Structure 1
């Protein structure tokens, strides 16, 4: 064993790592994000649930171990030998959980005004790589922990109870708040160094501020209704259902427009109906109502006007999302968007298009595809 260690220390690979040590965090961050992208799929899948729960549990334990280390609690023990790595371990779990949530959110077709919450997750994800020297700040530690915890329970509780609504979101927030405050009080009571370093009143006030801010985000519908996500959304000329397949005829966009399947200009011939098709991911056994809110931009008033809300039930469990469509025949030219919303009017996604009446249809751009 000793010979193997000596050979490793003197090998070219070890020397290469030593010379490029400063790039290691970036490489591990990139590799970890790519790994999460290819391994994480459905939030209700056993692997994903175990992954997230394990990371959340280990993050909580790591925070406890780290905060008691300054009191000499682990001196002379097996844990004490590796105490210098606690900040890196905490950073690793912060990064792992935030990257997982970013991946789940990013799979939605359109984030619309919920982009603000998504940006917060992105900031947390990338800022985590620069927190190595700041991670010992206990105010920062527990603030990030609470935000991660809130997002974790917002995903997990609907998955387990098979329901999603405002009450479930409030429960998720209260569970997160309660568990975070319990951890803070437990560490504060167990660690004399923590009691001298922080003001419990100040830290609790900070957590409560973050809790209230998150609920304000929800009130103004700036938080997407996780774990629901729109997998596909497009405007079509025709929708047919055959052998449990939805066959769509639509105008495809150029290959380099990778973020949208349909062409933004919808060329409407005569009085043909306009279809909007969506597939919405929902966890297994979760049933809820969603609506297609059709909105037209009035150039005279410069406002978006709601023309109709058309609802249908979504049943969770299908890997590529629950499929559904709505259509309208009484439409005018101009800018349109169909917001896919919940009963609480939280936005799952948006399908944008511009209707242009035409007498000569562009057949070359038509595509037929089954979903």
Structure 2
């Protein structure tokens, strides 16, 4: 994405090729651009972020169409015309590839950040790392962009992921059907654009293979329920509402664990309620239901569901929409609580150990959510 910018800066300042600074400029530009995306996109996913993504995708489609048109026209030239065409300045020949690399890099950078915000469990983090790999790989494969099958595959992947964000945002719903429809729409757009490109270069079948893999990954819960973003989640006692905030008593970490602010242990008096409070951001216009799935670990049977309790979510609040559930007369042991969508997609998981006997080292702290 930013390798072209690094090369341009090196030429502009007439840096000698032996200077190490020239070699560092692409890396500096790359990480600088990624940092800029991370800062400008912010903590939540705004409508402007989605329209920027759509703009990048549109520009990439136009560049791909132009590259196909140019390749088709070049193949139709006589040998003399091709010879004259080949003596053009190098920057004119490579400009479309540089621009396409920049656009793909911008798309992967934004998508990685946006998916990483929504990835709060192991499988989703694995998926986000895959996008990070593509972001870095994009800096090294620009010389292969003349292979249209590869560029259509990259464009199709970007189109699918952008539509995965846009369709739920536009419809105000995160049901699974919109994921599959947006995946189909992204693959169809790529297939149609290739068909309309002069010479119909490359192959489109990898895009449909990518769509199938993404659909399977969605079923297996690898893909986070975008555009939802976890803001906060706490487990504790004595939940109260004060001045528009929820205040919960959470257990502080022991003094000999200075690297932890809060403990993942919870000591519960007999008969007391254990509360789970979660704050989840969603763009304005999205109204759905979330669920807290309480699960206890059994040494013989593994994780066993104790209850699944739902609450409504209304998008737009910057701090996230807050919901809570509770259990009373709860058993001691190893517990986890999943925040899930209506169709069972996992947003985040909170692990904690619960004890029903009192502890003299327990110190509670009030936390606002």
TM-score range, shorter chain: 0.7 to 0.9
Shift of 1:279: 0.7
With 161-170 and 41-50 compared, the bigger mean Cα shift is at: 41-50
After superposition, the Cα gap between the structure-2 partners of 1:290 and 1:81, relative to the gap in structure 1 and judged at 3 Å, is same
After superposition, the Cα gap between the structure-2 partners of 1:109 and 1:357, relative to the gap in structure 1 and judged at 3 Å, is farther
* Matched position secondary structure for 1:293: strand
User: Which residue of the partner structure matches residue 28 of structure 1?
Assistant: 29
CA distance, structure 2, for counterparts of residue 306 and residue 10 of structure 1: 59
User: Which residue of the partner structure matches residue 350 of structure 1?
Assistant: 349
User: Which residue of the partner structure matches residue 78 of structure 2?
Assistant: none
CA distance, structure 1, for counterparts of residue 93 and residue 241 of structure 2: 60
CA distance, structure 2, for counterparts of residue 152 and residue 10 of structure 1: 33
User: Which residue of the partner structure matches residue 311 of structure 2?
Assistant: 312
After superposition, the Cα gap between the structure-2 partners of 1:107 and 1:11, relative to the gap in structure 1 and judged at 3 Å, is closer
Count of matched residue pairs: 348
* Matched position secondary structure for 2:339: strand
CA distance, structure 1, for counterparts of residue 344 and residue 95 of structure 2: 45
1:149 and 2:162 correspond: no
Structure-to-structure mapping, 1:116-127, within 5 angstroms: 116-127=126-137
CA distance, structure 2, for counterparts of residue 50 and residue 79 of structure 1: 35
Give the TM-score of the pair, scaled to structure 1: 0.85
Shift of 1:282: 1.0
With 131-140 and 57-66 compared, the bigger mean Cα shift is at: 131-140
User: Which residue of the partner structure matches residue 5 of structure 1?
Assistant: none
Structure-to-structure mapping, 1:106-125, within 5 angstroms: 106-108=116-118, 110-125=120-135
Shift of 1:343: 1.1
* Matched position secondary structure for 1:216: helix
CA distance, structure 2, for counterparts of residue 179 and residue 346 of structure 1: 26
Residues 268, 357 of structure 1: 8 Å contact kept? yes
Shift of 1:102: 1.5
CA distance, structure 1, for counterparts of residue 119 and residue 321 of structure 2: 14
User: Which residue of the partner structure matches residue 191 of structure 2?
Assistant: 181
Cα deviation digits, residues 93-148 of structure 1 (max 9, x gap): 11111111221222247223333322321221222222222232222211121111
After superposition, the Cα gap between the structure-2 partners of 1:23 and 1:80, relative to the gap in structure 1 and judged at 3 Å, is closer
Shift of 1:342: 0.9
After superposition, the Cα gap between the structure-2 partners of 1:91 and 1:18, relative to the gap in structure 1 and judged at 3 Å, is farther
Residues 150, 176 of structure 1: 8 Å contact kept? yes
CA distance, structure 2, for counterparts of residue 102 and residue 123 of structure 1: 10
CA distance, structure 2, for counterparts of residue 173 and residue 42 of structure 1: 25
**Which residue, 360, 365, 368 being the options, matches 2:366?**
368
Cα deviation digits, residues 186-217 of structure 1 (max 9, x gap): 12xx13xx64xx4xxxx233222111111111
* Matched position secondary structure for 2:283: coil
Cα deviation digits, residues 280-310 of structure 1 (max 9, x gap): 1111021001100001110133x10000000
CA distance, structure 1, for counterparts of residue 329 and residue 44 of structure 2: 39
Cα deviation digits, residues 205-230 of structure 1 (max 9, x gap): 32221111111112222221111121
Residues 190, 204 of structure 2: 8 Å contact kept? no
Residues 274, 326 of structure 2: 8 Å contact kept? yes
Cα deviation digits, residues 43-88 of structure 1 (max 9, x gap): 6634313321211111111222223333456969x99963412222
With 125-134 and 145-154 compared, the bigger mean Cα shift is at: 125-134
Structure-to-structure mapping, 1:1-371, within 5 angstroms: 13-15=13-15, 19=19, 20-41=21-42, 45-72=46-73, 82-108=92-118, 110-187=120-197, 190-191=198-199, 195=201, 198=202, 203-253=203-253, 256=259, 262-301=262-301, 303-364=302-363, 366-371=364-369
CA distance, structure 1, for counterparts of residue 345 and residue 11 of structure 2: 57
User: Which residue of the partner structure matches residue 6 of structure 1?
Assistant: none
Residues 237, 274 of structure 1: 8 Å contact kept? yes
Structure 1: runs of 5+ lacking an equivalent:
1-8
After superposition, the Cα gap between the structure-2 partners of 1:12 and 1:311, relative to the gap in structure 1 and judged at 3 Å, is closer
* Matched position secondary structure for 1:94: helix
Structure 2: runs of 5+ lacking an equivalent:
1-8, 75-81
After superposition, the Cα gap between the structure-2 partners of 1:67 and 1:79, relative to the gap in structure 1 and judged at 3 Å, is farther
Shift of 1:247: 1.3
